[in-house]
Amino acid sequence: MAMDAEQSITEGFKALSAGRPQAALEAVDAIDADSYPRASLLAGHAHKALGQHAAAEFAYRALTQKPDRRHSATGWWSLAGLKTAQFSAADAARLDSLINGDEQDGYLGLLHMTRAEIWHQAGMPDMAFAHLKAGNDLIAAARPFQGEAYRAFIDELLTVEPFALESQVAQSANPIFIIGQPRSGTTLVEQILASHPEVDATDELSFMGHRGADLQRDGGYTAALQSNDGSRWATYQQQYLDIVLPYCEKGGTYFLDKTPENFLHVPLILKILPNARFVHVIRDPLDNIVSQYRHFFPEGREYSNSLEGLVFYWRGYLMLMRHWSALFPDRLHHLHYSQLVTAPQDEIADLLTFCGLSRAQECFSPHETQRPVMTPSAAQVRQPINAAGVDSGLAYGGGLKDWLKDIGQLKEVSARLFGKG
């Protein structure tokens, strides 16, 4: 029975990763969550993706009661990441007790991050920041950011020269890649476009990043981009479309890939998918850096666990987006988050025009669209478009005082390259 339960949970996580949260719930429906804590975690994630916030909170709270620190800490952070859960004084006291224990590890980092969310809800950003720093420092120690490798990759990509977009590969589909920084509004843009009757949404697909790593190992990323080996690009295209196809319930003529890090792979994507368009979502650097620093990413994005790493990552991102904008200006649409949420009618109309889509009314009320949302912003995109996130980083200025000059420079460069938001 234990093996069957573990197998069902594993299959459930696979279903969730494939964008099928209902199938994930069915996989663990008959499993005793008290005996198998991962079933509670899976149920919470699946309910969250479906917009069933009360059920998600129930599952996550069950996980917080587990004696195993790994499970309880994951439950606490998942509860905080839900963004709809309201914490009580008893919750705060319980977290303080756990934080003040003897164990110093990455799971303690998650507890600090959750305690920061409680202080944030209470309107006390300075207290929140103290826990954010403590939590991020612990997590960064457990999984450090490889900054030198990132900078070397950026430097290599900056040597990419123009090449003909008429790839050796034929293509009938119209992929739309949503790129930028995590926590910049990419999920909102995805929700807007996925509301269109002709557009299918996928997920944050890792395919392009993995193929880029393959090319780097096999003789160099940029050298491969200069190649006209049509068979390689055709193979990659078919592999990618095979991943996308199960998501396409509307026909797949237009589909979305909302992987922010694909800003690193614009020329590779154009080699594989010559019809690709890119929507580059830009958020104010201060707001974005604070938002990322307040969030725990379970896989990758190690730079987000330090302010130094965030500023460093932003610098490389701006350099590269300037380069791609010069090489492929007709394939990039720069969309400011602040303009989108303050003047949505105009911005959405321009977005649809760039994507070659008709002006579907559903796109102007995306919160009404019922679909699974697999990213941390699932709760926010189910609300009417609003400007609550604009200038949200200002409250944390006290904690960021040593970095405000650097962040201000990022804002100046971003405005110079892409206009003011």
5-19, 65-79, 155-169, 303-317 — which one is most confidently predicted on average? 303-317
Count of domains for the chain: 2
Q: How far apart are CA 400 and CA 126, in angstroms?
A: 10
Looking up tokens 């394939």 gives 331
- The last residue of a domain, from among 108, 142, 176: 142
Let me know whether 12 and 94 are in one domain. yes
Confidence check: pLDDT of 421 > 80: no
Half-sphere exposure of 357 toward its Cβ, with a 13 Å CA cutoff? 29
- For residue 168, what pLDDT band results from cuts at 50, 70 and 90? low
Confidence check: pLDDT of 113 > 60: yes
Q: Which amino acid is at 190?
A: E
Confidence check: pLDDT of 181 > 60: yes
Let me know whether 291 and 350 are in one domain. yes
pLDDT at position 382, please?
Answer: 86
CATH of the domain at 233: 3.40.50.300
- The last residue of a domain, from among 95, 112, 142: 142
Strands 199-201, 332-336: pairing is unpaired
- For residue 166, what pLDDT band results from cuts at 50, 70 and 90? low
pLDDT tens-digit readout, 263-304: 999 999 999 999 999 999 999 999 999 999 999 998 899 999
Rounded to an integer, the average pLDDT of 375-404 is: 91
- The last residue of a domain, from among 126, 142, 158: 142
Q: How far apart are CA 371 and CA 19, in angstroms?
A: 10
Confidence check: pLDDT of 178 > 60: yes
Let me know whether 341 and 212 are in one domain. yes
Domain that holds residue 154: 149-418
Let me know whether 131 and 172 are in one domain. no
Q: Which residues contact 210 (CB under 8 A, 6 or more apart)?
A: none
Average pLDDT, the chain: 93
Q: Which amino acid is at 248?
A: C
Let me know whether 136 and 167 are in one domain. no
Q: In whole angstroms, how far apart are CA 49 and each of 181, 305, 396, 398?
A: 21, 25, 29, 34
For residue 255, the cross-strand partners are 175, 200
- If 0-12 CB within 10 Å is exposed, 13-18 middle and 19+ buried, where does residue 7 land? exposed
Let me know whether 121 and 153 are in one domain. no
Strands 254-257, 277-282: pairing is unpaired
Let me know whether 203 and 344 are in one domain. yes
- For residue 314, what pLDDT band results from cuts at 50, 70 and 90? very high
pLDDT tens-digit readout, 331-374: 999 999 999 999 999 999 999 999 999 999 999 999 998 888 87
Let me know whether 127 and 159 are in one domain. no
The alpha carbon dihedral of 393, 397, 399, 401 has a sign of positive
Q: In whole angstroms, how far apart are CA 313 and each of 153, 284, 344?
A: 12, 15, 29
What is the chain's length?
A: 421
pLDDT at position 126, please?
Answer: 97
Let me know whether 215 and 338 are in one domain. yes
Q: How far apart are CA 192 and CA 256, in angstroms?
A: 11
